[in-house]
Structure 1
């Protein structure tokens, strides 16, 4: 069923668009002798495509590949282990987004640390962690800063508040990622053959359409910025198909109600005020130069990596293939653990835990019983 959450009118429009997409996909197959392949690089799109039924409805027409867009999933194992190790210190309160609680470390999870008596708290915003630090001045409060460009301005807002209020017992362990460097890495590697990208509306809201122009000018790759409802995504896929059929590479903004040409100037200002580009390790990929953001040296007083040392052991190796899933090399069912040893109740890898993970989306909405 296609997007049961839509109103009848929007559902009708979605079904009309679906037929148009299927017709265009057939034309592509007749022209090029294969299915078109598009990649989304956003965990919200991954989940929305599965939840709304769009991905299922386009099986046999369009190959929709889930790329490295889930922040928790792309965080490498050493970093996950280091974050969990932060709980070992005395007089510490660890604050995190909910997705992180059950992500498997090599030797435990944040949830297990909490059950063992460590003070680990789920917050809805990093600003909440600043307020917790104000309420507990004799304890160190550490927020685990994971996210893409959508989240980084919010992390900056928390640092701004802590700075203005002179909250000295608040810090942040940064492990952020940027979309542009991973797109360049995927296209440089060429491991997956693609006909276009479905670009995330919320990252584009911050960065602007022009930020992604390099896809067309440098890589001759079409891309369309999309929202997250069935209607939005089908419209974007329709545009991608028309561009692919014409072999025309442009970056199209199909989410103009939210995204403009240059993005959110204030959000970008505060990102660059507190943070600077840094090399980041990506799960299953390795270190990508200048692919994340971390504290500028003048703000090291808020940098948990500077304030605290952690001991980590060699990461435990499993048969989990999350690294291949997030690169689009395999679909979740191709992992031997999927749906057997690895389930949402007993996850082996982060892609099964996160609400934006490819494996979780497939298990919940596309798995054949």
Structure 2
């Protein structure tokens, strides 16, 4: 096993599957391989529950998940991201259920998906908020009421390892605890899984009002306070750069920016500084809900993807993926859709955004 300071020198976990090798490519294209579908897995095995705050999105029980995935898989889907959803009665202050393979519905879903779709990459969100009775992403100290970092990292590592043992290809810590990447990589290598399980770190995850419907869907809203003490402050690009560098040094195979569209400038900056690491942009629920207000959904959705592709994330985590998978598989060139040159300065032949700004429109639609 490598020393804890050298996990970043082990590369095999970043390209042991064909889809992972696509993510390693330096060019970004709008293809099904570059899309990842987030799915909510509920602890009711036969459930298919609609989510009022997220039209068109469902919570699926383990007995329903294969049927939900199949039509999108047939369109070319290559990866999914699983989130567990459990009832309050199963939650406690230690998030015990998170790593329990007999009670956490994600473990059963992993096995079903691996059996039904052998070449589909299965990623699992690693966070405690859906499993703690207080709804926070870490374990709280009984003495002070603040995050106990050491206990949180240990629990997150146990959770990630349990998913890996169930068959997950990728574990994706979204909790924003300091040191969790090191703890997870250490646990994976000790279990001899370090070279066959990737770590996709939500390194640059900002506090955002865009997450509201997601917390309803995952039943993970904090019961007290908020998450501003561990999620990054909005607009803190410098802090995000430090967080990404820390996670890479601790062994992260891939990195993510969330939410994606408000931070296109950061995506460009990160890709410039860390060009050799696959980057994901998470288009969150309220971003998608805003796009859905346009009656011609194809144009705004495709425009958003093209925004991302110019700023060079390697993959986009996105809801309402069935339509986007079909669009990207058929043809990226959309009739009536004309790109407009970006209104940002160019330096050394590369597109860049002014530091510290939030830049949205890159493409216009012709009607």
Please tell me the TM-score bracket, short chain as reference: under 0.3
Structure with greater helix percent: 1
Larger Rg: 1
TM-score for both structures, normalised by structure 1: 0.25
TM-score for both structures, normalised by structure 2: 0.25
Structure number with the bigger relative contact order (C-alpha 8 A, sep ≥ 6) is 1
